[in-house]
Amino acid sequence: MTEQKTIQTNSIKWLKECSSNTFDLIIADPPYNVGKDYETMVDSINKKEYLEFLNEWTSEAVRTLKPFGTIYTFMGFRFISYLYDILENRCGLYFNSWISWYYTQGQGKRRGFSPRHDDILMFTKHPKKYTFNLDNIRVPQKTYRSINNMRGANPGDVWEFSHIHYCQGNRQDHPTQKPEGLIERMVLASSCEGDDVLDPFSGSGTTLRVCQQLNRNCLGLEMNPNYVDMTKKRLAQPFHGFDSIDPRMKRVPLDLSDEAIRNEYVANHKRWFLKNHESKIEEFEKEVSRIYGKIKVERRKLSRPTRQNKDLFASLDYPFQQNDKVHTPL
């Protein structure tokens, strides 16, 4: 049984009192200092004060990270280079990836190019020993080939996830709510079931909600009491699937001309790529039918890995080759 808990507190003060080497994974979405209204504070201070803030929370957060832990942190374009420098040179972490979260809708500009991405930095505390579960985050191949690993490809460092729009049922009253599918990829990649995750700026509670469904413990720190209450209500709601998905997860590989192979692949695709997004299964089946004609539809609830069976697809035979299992590289 895992636990998700949110605490109303000043993140930096709480982190200073936290024991070192506590968390396996940290996912941080700090204020970008762009004037957002978070009710209890407005995200607008001078540059010197903001850089002091970045230095203070990162140094304390890194101290609480376990020796083989990973940190992901969001940041806007104005301060991303400063944050990189702090994490690498002042905190002594090891750079892994600079991820671009691409979205199709955002604020428009009349003089200049409208921003359509946010940056996410991924750093590890050890240069080689860290958790990275590639099989858990693969995306479907574009084309079937017998030599391909049909379990999927590495998603790369440009991730497309739609914003959570105001018309969506899961939209919270928070100015910078992140998509669940975006956080899902980080949690699946860089932690295992039962691990301890920290979100030092938990906001609307997305990281806690994702960890709840993926069997991770998660602690969220949040100053605004309204956001704390919002998160508690969100965690109590029934789960019907995450609110966003990488469009590639619904991609149907070309050249699946052999009916037996195609039917096997379609069944496996649902387990591999759509097990937390069951509302997208029908769209996937329609696309398969459009390309290849009517298919045999298998209706059953998709199972999830358990502690006793983390590798859900270990028994698959050729041509669906298996590559990387859940692992911590040595």
Model confidence at 116, pLDDT cuts 50, 70, 90, reads: confident
CB 144, CB 261: distance < 8 Å: yes
For residue range 60-104, what is the model confidence (pLDDT) as tens digits? 999 999 999 999 999 988 999 999 999 999 999 999 999 999 988
Question: What is the Cα–Cα distance from 67 to 72, expressed in whole angstroms?
Answer: 15
**Nearest residue to 190 via CA among 135, 138, 131, 134:** 131
pLDDT of residue 104: 80
- The model carries a pTM of 0.86
For residue range 271-310, what is the model confidence (pLDDT) as tens digits? 999 999 999 999 999 999 999 987 666 555 555 444 333 3
What is the architecture, at CATH level 2, of domain 4-236? 3-Layer(aba) Sandwich (3.40)
| Per-domain boundaries in the chain | 4-236
